């Protein structure tokens, strides 16, 4: 990824993301360096994306006729997080095609006051920005499938002004 692309992601703000999910870090999220392990970020991306798909796009992972397979992923790290941080995970769609969607997740730390008590203030600067691309396929045959109308309607709610490609198909 180019340095300008990384800098653009670093400049993201909470207002760039239309959907949020809170996450309280766990002791087991830390690695031996006392910060959140890199693999945990991908679990966070998976959690916010699938929560949205289930709650807003009628996805039923056990019964849906189509599923999304991850074909690419990325993460840019800007500052460390550690247990017991509380996070806000922002979600948006940056590209929506006939059978694929690219999500972007901004990870924001909820700041604490000097007293150590959460004051529900959050940082406007992301600590990381990442995401992945889903290609939708038929759940049994794994053949490419157009995104269902219900799924597309929900995903369109996450499309932002900076979306690269959006097909209304």
CB 27 within 8 A of CB 83: yes
Distance CA 95, CA 102 (A): 5
pTM: 0.87
* Ranges of each domain in the chain: 3-157
Q: Which of 45-49, 111-115, 159-163 has maximum average pLDDT? A: 45-49
CATH top-level class for 3-157? alpha beta
Confidence (pLDDT) at 18: 97
More confident residue, 64 or 118: 64
pLDDT digits (tens, 9 = 90+) for 70-115: 999 999 999 999 999 999 999 999 999 999 999 999 999 996 544 4
pLDDT digits (tens, 9 = 90+) for 127-146: 999 999 999 999 999 999 99
Strands 165-166 and 66-77: unpaired
Confidence (pLDDT) at 113: 46
Give DSSP secondary structure letters for 26-77: -GGGB-TTSSB-HHHHHHHHHHHHHHHHHHHS---TTT-SEEEEEEEEEEEE
Confidence category of residue 5, pLDDT binned at 50, 70, 90: confident
Confidence (pLDDT) at 161: 63
Distance CA 158, CA 92 (A): 5
pLDDT digits (tens, 9 = 90+) for 49-78: 999 999 999 999 889 889 999 999 999 999
Confidence (pLDDT) at 48: 98
Nearest to 6 by CA among 62, 86, 77: 77
């Amino acid at each position: 990824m180019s340095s300008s692309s990384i800098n653009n992601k670093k400049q993201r703000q909470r207002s760039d993301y239309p959907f949020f999910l809170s996450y309280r870090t766990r002791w087991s999220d830390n690695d031996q360096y006392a910060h959140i392990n890199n693999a945990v970020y991908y679990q966070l991306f998976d959690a916010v994306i699938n929560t949205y798909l289930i709650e807003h796009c009628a996805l039923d992972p056990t019964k849906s006729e189509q599923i999304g397979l991850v074909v690419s992923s990325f993460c840019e790290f800007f500052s460390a997080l550690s247990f017991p941080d509380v996070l806000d995970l922002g979600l948006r769609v940056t590209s929506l095609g006939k059978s694929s969607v690219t999500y972007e997740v901004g990870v924001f730390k909820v700041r604490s006051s000097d007293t150590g008590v959460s004051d529900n203030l959050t940082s406007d600067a992301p600590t990381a920005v990442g995401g992945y691309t889903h290609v939708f396929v038929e759940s049994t045959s794994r053949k490419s499938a157009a995104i269902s109308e219900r799924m597309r309607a929900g995903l369109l709610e996450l499309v932002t002004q900076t979306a690269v490609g959006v097909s209304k198909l």
